[in-house]
Chains A and B, each alone.
Chain A
Amino acid sequence: MSEQNKPEVLKMELEALSKNEEFARVAVVVFMARLNPTLEEVDDVKTAVSEAVTNAVIHGYRGEGGIIYLEVAVIDQEISITIRDTGVGIPDVKQAMEPMYTTDPDGERSGMGFSFMEAFMDQVEVLSAPGEGTAVTMKKKISG
């Protein structure tokens, strides 16, 4: 087995506080630097992570706090990121992923979070169950 095929992994547990949104996206892009991403790829991943972590803070934990589990693995120029919460879960994932769909009554939220994750990453998978939480796994090939 060559070194290349062994995944390198970052695991973190973060409190679901809005101030950790920036910390999470910066930590992931610093970790991905080993893949020599382009600036655009860095921005893509940064934005996708920001969306998923913000969802966990606002929706998963309803702004009341909890733990966000962040796991990043890189193997053969691919980055795989999982952001998981044990919050309220999403009753209808398909509906939640529709562009402009939002549950926010104030209208301050654009409803574009999942659309951005899908636009900026190659693959987005959402597993969720009401009362159990949500896990978002996103993958992207990095040109290097």
Chain B
Amino acid sequence: MNQPHFTYEAEGHTLIVHLPEELDHHNCSGLKYETDLILSENYIKRILFDFSKTRFMDSSGLGILLNRYKQMALSGGTVAIYGAGAQALRILKMGGILKLMKLYDSKEAAVTG
């Protein structure tokens, strides 16, 4: 039995996605299907990506973030990030993500917005 790579939590109309330790192509495989399902069945205005457990990400992680951003932008929603460590931050900056998504230090700050 494989451990789930992503876990999800709802806070009102906000969906919190807890990301895995290694945010690579292998671990990203289920995310599109799972978030599509959640977004189709719930009224979600905001997605928060929780990086607090993530020690590594590459361009595959960037791809899934960008796609969720596009998806949310179409419905007028937003996407934000919290808990990113040094390695993830470098990738996020290089990928231009921080121009599209707000960055918070903690879950509390991110939920409050």
Contact = CB atoms under 8 A, between A and B. Distances in A.
Interface centre among A18, A58, A107, A110 (most CB of B within 10 A): A110
Nearest to B61: A110
Interface residues of B, number: 23
Contacts of A107: 63, 66-67, 70
Interface stretch (B8-16, B39-47, B87-95): B87-95
Nearest to A58: B25
Contacts of A51: 58-59
Chain A contact surface mostly: helix
A9 B109 CA distance: 48
Given A18-B25, A21-B24, A54-B60, A47 B91 contact: yes
Interface residues of A, number: 26
Interface stretch (A73-81, A111-119, A127-135): A111-119
Contacts of B91: 47, 116
A43 interface: yes
16 contacts: A21-B24, A43-B56, A43-B87, A47-B87, A51-B59, A54-B58, A57-B25, A107-B63, A110-B66, A110-B95, A112-B59, A112-B94, A113-B59, A115-B94, A116-B58, A116-B91
Interface of B: 22, 24-26, 28-29, 32, 56, 58-60, 62-64, 66-67, 70, 86-87, 90-91, 94-95
Interface of A: 18-19, 21-22, 25, 39, 43, 46-47, 50-51, 54, 57-58, 104, 106-113, 115-116, 119
Given A51-B59, A104-B63, 4 more contacts: A18-B29, A110-B66, A116-B58, A116-B59
